Amino acid sequence: MLLRMLKKDLKRNRTIAVALFVFVMLSALLAASGSNMIMQLFRSMDHLFAVSNAPHFVQMHAGEIDETALDEFASDNPMVRSRQLAEMLIIDNASIYYGDRRTPDSGSVMDNGFVEQNERFDFLLNLDNERIAVSNGEIAVPIYYKQRENLELGDRIRIASASSELEFTIVDFVRDVQMNPSIISSKRFVVSAADFEALRPLAGEVETMIGFQLNDLSKLGEFKTAYQSAGLPSKGPTIDYSLLQMLNVITDGLVAAIILLVSLLLMVIAGLCLRFTLIATMEEEYREIGVMKAIGIRQSHMRKIYRTKYLFLAGAACLCGYALSVLTSGWFTSNIALYIGSAPRNALQLVVPILSAAVVFALVWMFCSLVLRKMNKISAVEALRFGTTGGNKVHASWLPLHKSRLPSLNIFLGVKDVLGRFRMYLLLFLIFVICSFMMIVPINFLSTVHAPSFVSYMGAGQSDIRIDLQQSENIRESFAEVQAYLAEDRDIAKFAPLVTSKYGVIGAEGALENIQVETGDFSQFPLKYSKGNAPASDNEIALSSLNAEGLGKGVGDTVTVVADGKSIELQVSGIYQDVTNGGKTAKALLPPASDRVLWYTINANVQQGVDVREKVAEYAKLFQGAKITPMEDYLSQTLGSTLEQIKKATLMGVAVALCISFLITSLFLKMLTAKEASGIAVMKCIGFADSDIRKQYIARTMTVLATAILVGTAASNTLGQGLVGMLMSARGASSIQFVTSPLVSYVVCPLALALFVTGAALLATRSLKQYSIVTLSAE
């Protein structure tokens, strides 16, 4: 009997059934896909770290190496399992020509290091996660350049200088456990031993990667303290195992979190629709429910009758959603597969997406159970006597027609109905709010990341040009030369030289840690501080938000910085956001020491009317070895893969929101017109045409939509901004302030929603012609 009732009900309410099926299916699809992304991300990362035999601690160093001191330290320290030294030849971007390009890649912000394959650990892998082996004349290129330059196997790369030129054939692409993400500004190319020596004269500088693997990874903090206290080579950044893990998962982890958030919003929408559908069905069948109660059918059995239909729909939708997640998993995980690779699947990777879809089914069951409790309140006597719940009615005396200032009677009647029965339109209102939220938040986030001011979240002030100088033999002379030239250049409005050095700092547990401190004039290109302000005297320091959290410090607290064996007490003047260098940096007015300098930076603004790119090209020719980058390019290159993933998430959010708005409007108006069939027939009798009644329904939906867009926009700029801050907090930017594109966010998005909603309203009200006094009397 239940099966026959189910078939009959599905045939009678096809539109409702299809809409609910689609929402539950999409929710299950995204829940399964998001959980699958997270599982594959962490499984693939673990596999990559295992196959590459990832280092636990790496100290970059530019300069001479005392190998004897390193050997003694390693042999005397029981925590060390293995040690490795690897040279990296840094070749200027202006000397590298990709493919058939006749111009060098001089605008890149990346440091290009040419290396041989490592012998003990930190292996450089190909796209099959196998150790790369190249012959003379062959080269393996980082995945970053494969994407950026559209390189393929067999393409050529030229390394050219004034005195010599070498050409290589691409035979592999490098999957690098240390330098995969675009936010890491160094990339490693793999060449043979003979070619490595041939490239040595072309290198601007040589860096050494001092790598360690430990017997017990839990003692990493203790080992870092021991290394830093031993006075060993440290003229360069320090990388550890936990930082490598964070940098490898943060981009795709962010996208997975967004997908799961959209899935949750869809589940809320499905629940609201289910509630509305069940209540509307019970109202339509009020008399039938009364009859069943009167003849003694138990309430639990009646609830089972109603629940069966929706659980059948939910079960089928969740199965389809899971099946689609399997088919579309390649699209969701393509970036993971490229940069991290695919690990052998285990049982857990299969079970977790199924469990995610099962959770969606369980939520549908819970919604059904909660809504069907209303059946307990239905009285058999009242149901048989009145046959209806009465519903919400608009009093004729409320907002009389003669007081209307609206230009159209139909618009007036539509607006009056919404204002008088807003509880009935609450479902539509909430869903339109969610749809506008799903569109505006990703678009605002994408606009923020693309905005020039986003550089403030990278720990730097906004400028036109950024000049970077890395460690080399004559770096101080080069730094002074660039400053002198900029001071005489009339095209430059202002510039500020900055020096980043490494200092020690006493951590939260009393251990000595390394900290990267930038010094210079912070007033020329001021940074936005989430708390406090820039250091104004030499006894103050500003910390990045992740550094402040790690050290357990706030504005006004004291930090102990160690330089040349001396402790200096500095007061925290401010906290800023920084998504670069693992998010752990600082700014102070300490005097830089040459033995602690990591790199030099100069920010510059050009005079009004000066072409920035022409000036960059001029400086690139003048200052060999320096990276001259327009700040716009610096942002796009540093956040390359992150931007692509955010674009994907934005397109998905907009598409889903528009589809939802169309389906929900169709569903709601179909049910509403069926419920108001007698009223529609009466309006036709007194002279209203079908087009007039259709305008009234469109006016109702537009009134609800306009109100919802206002609320959704406000929620996007408050709640949405907070959610983005939570997602970005692991990267060091927890207080994101949206930079909106008013045309897109406040004109294009509402217009797109209005077009889809109007189209749905026109489609749903085509059935108006079937309602008349004659047809209703015949029924």
Tens of pLDDT along 82-100?
Answer: 999 999 998 888 788 888 7
Is there a domain that residue 235 lies in? no
CA–CA gap between residue 546 and residue 583 (Å, rounded):
6
> Of the candidates 430, 563, 439, which has an alpha carbon nearest to the alpha carbon of residue 506?
563
> Of the candidates 176, 173, 161, which has an alpha carbon nearest to the alpha carbon of residue 49?
176
Answer with the one of 388, 423, 445 that is the final residue of a domain.
388
> Of the candidates 740, 738, 736, which has an alpha carbon nearest to the alpha carbon of residue 577?
736
Q: Are residues 246 and 373 in the same domain?
A: yes
Q: Are residues 382 and 414 in the same domain?
A: no
pLDDT recorded at residue 131: 94
Alpha carbons within 13 angstroms on the beta-carbon side of residue 499 total: 20
Is there a domain that residue 603 lies in? yes
- The two structure tokens encoding residue 395: 């009093």
Give the distance between the most distant pair of CA atoms in the chain: 103
Q: To the nearest whole percent, how much of the chain has pLDDT over 70?
A: 83
Find all residues with CB under 8 Å of 566, minimum gap 6, and list them. none
Q: Which residue has the higher pLDDT, 440 or 644?
A: 440
Q: Are residues 673 and 777 in the same domain?
A: yes
Beta carbons within 10 angstroms of residue 726's beta carbon: 11
Average pLDDT over residues 360-372: 81
Where residue 238 falls among pLDDT bands split at 50, 70, 90?
confident
Distances (CA, A) of 212 to 77, 90, 236, 473, 735: 11, 22, 16, 26, 36
Where residue 404 falls among pLDDT bands split at 50, 70, 90?
low
Q: Are residues 254 and 381 in the same domain?
A: yes
Average pLDDT over residues 47-63: 89
Is there a domain that residue 254 lies in? yes
Residue type, 285: E
Average pLDDT over residues 495-501: 89
Q: Are residues 540 and 609 in the same domain?
A: yes
Is there a domain that residue 74 lies in? no
Q: Which SS3 state, helix, strand or coil, does residue 545 take?
A: helix
- The two structure tokens encoding residue 173: 């692409």
Q: Are residues 383 and 436 in the same domain?
A: no
Beta carbons within 10 angstroms of residue 539's beta carbon: 15
Alpha carbons within 13 angstroms on the beta-carbon side of residue 709 total: 18
Q: Are residues 445 and 538 in the same domain?
A: no
Q: Are residues 542 and 653 in the same domain?
A: no
- Lowest mean pLDDT across 79-93, 204-218, 301-315: 301-315
Is there a domain that residue 237 lies in? no
Question: With 60 as the cut, is the pLDDT of residue 574 above it?
Answer: yes
Burial tier of 388 (Cβ tally within 10 Å: 0-12, 13-18, 19+) = exposed
Q: For residue 259, report the phi and psi dihedrals to the nearest 5 degrees.
A: -60, -45
Q: Are residues 657 and 774 in the same domain?
A: yes
- Lowest mean pLDDT across 252-256, 528-532, 645-649: 252-256
Provide the pairing of β-strand 465-470 with 138-142: unpaired
Answer with the one of 185, 208, 231 that is the final residue of a domain.
208
Is there a domain that residue 152 lies in? yes
Most confidently modeled range among 15-29, 76-90, 177-191, 276-290: 76-90
DSSP structural state of residue 744: I
Average pLDDT over residues 30-34: 84
Q: Are residues 377 and 246 in the same domain?
A: yes
Provide the pairing of β-strand 558-563 with 597-606: unpaired
- The two structure tokens encoding residue 252: 């795709």
> Of the candidates 762, 749, 722, which has an alpha carbon nearest to the alpha carbon of residue 655?
749
Question: With 70 as the cut, is the pLDDT of residue 312 above it?
Answer: yes
Most confidently modeled range among 190-194, 244-248, 289-293, 387-391: 190-194
- Lowest mean pLDDT across 113-127, 669-683, 764-778: 764-778
CA–CA gap between residue 492 and residue 485 (Å, rounded):
10
Radius of gyration of the chain (CA): 33
Where residue 531 falls among pLDDT bands split at 50, 70, 90?
confident
CA–CA gap between residue 508 and residue 221 (Å, rounded):
12
Q: Are residues 501 and 447 in the same domain?
A: no
Q: Which residue has the higher pLDDT, 473 or 759?
A: 759
The residues facing 559 across adjacent strands are: 570
Reported residue count of the chain is 779
pLDDT recorded at residue 63: 77
Number of domains in the chain: 4
Q: Are residues 414 and 524 in the same domain?
A: no
Q: Which SS3 state, helix, strand or coil, does residue 523 take?
A: coil
Is there a domain that residue 216 lies in? no
Where residue 399 falls among pLDDT bands split at 50, 70, 90?
low
Beta carbons within 10 angstroms of residue 623's beta carbon: 18
Q: Which residue has the higher pLDDT, 48 or 677?
A: 48
CA–CA gap between residue 110 and residue 720 (Å, rounded):
33
> Of the candidates 338, 337, 340, which has an alpha carbon nearest to the alpha carbon of residue 147?
338
Answer with the one of 354, 388, 422 that is the final residue of a domain.
388
Domain containing residue 644:
401-453+638-779
Is there a domain that residue 460 lies in? no
